[in-house]
Homo-oligomer: A and B are copies of this chain.
Amino acid sequence: MSKVFTFSLQGADLSTRIPKAKAAMRKEPSQSRSKATVEAIIEAATRILSVEGWAGFNTNKVAEAAGVSIGSLYQYFPSKLSLVEAIRRRHIEDCLGVMKRAGKSGRPLAQFVADLVRDLIAVHSLHPGLHRVLLDDAPSADAFRDPHDAFEVDYLASYTAVVRHYRQGKTGSSDEAVAMTLSDAIDGVIHNAARRGTLQNPEVGAELVRLVTSYLAAE
CB-defined contacts of A65 to chain B, threshold 8 Å: none
Which residues from B are CB-within-8-Å of A138?
52-56, 133
Contacts of A178 in B (CB 8 A): 207
Separation of A103 and B203 alpha carbons in the complex (Å)? 25
Q: Which of B145, B177, B185, B187 contacts A203 (CB 8 A)?
A: B177
The answer on a CB contact under 8 Å between B147 and A196 is yes
Task: Verify B207–A177 contact, CB threshold 8 A.
Answer: yes
Chain A: interface secondary structure? helix
Nearest B residue to A57 via CB reads: B138
* Inter-chain contacts of A184 with B (CB < 8 A): 188-189, 191-193
What residues on B are CB-neighbors of A135 within 8 Å? 132, 191-192, 195
In the complex, what residue of chain B is closest to A210 when comparing beta carbons? B218
- In this assembly, does A34 line the interface, its C-beta being within 8 Å of a C-beta of chain B? no
Copies in the complex: 4
Most chain B C-beta atoms within 10 Å of own C-beta, residue among A54, A56, A137, A185: A185
Cα–Cα distance between A145 and B132 once the two chains are bound (Å): 13
Q: Kindly report which residue of chain B lies nearest to residue A135, judged by CB atoms.
A: B132
Interface residues of A in 129-157 (CB under 8 A from B): 129, 132-133, 135-139, 145, 147
A86 to chain B, nearest CB (A): 18
A53 CB to nearest chain B CB (Å): 3
Chain B nearest CB, measured from A5 CB (Å):
12
21 contacts between A and B (CB under 8 A): A53-B137, A55-B137, A56-B138, A133-B138, A135-B192, A137-B195, A180-B207, A181-B207, A184-B191, A184-B193, A185-B185, A185-B188, A188-B189, A188-B191, A188-B192, A211-B211, A211-B215, A213-B218, A214-B214, A214-B217, A214-B219
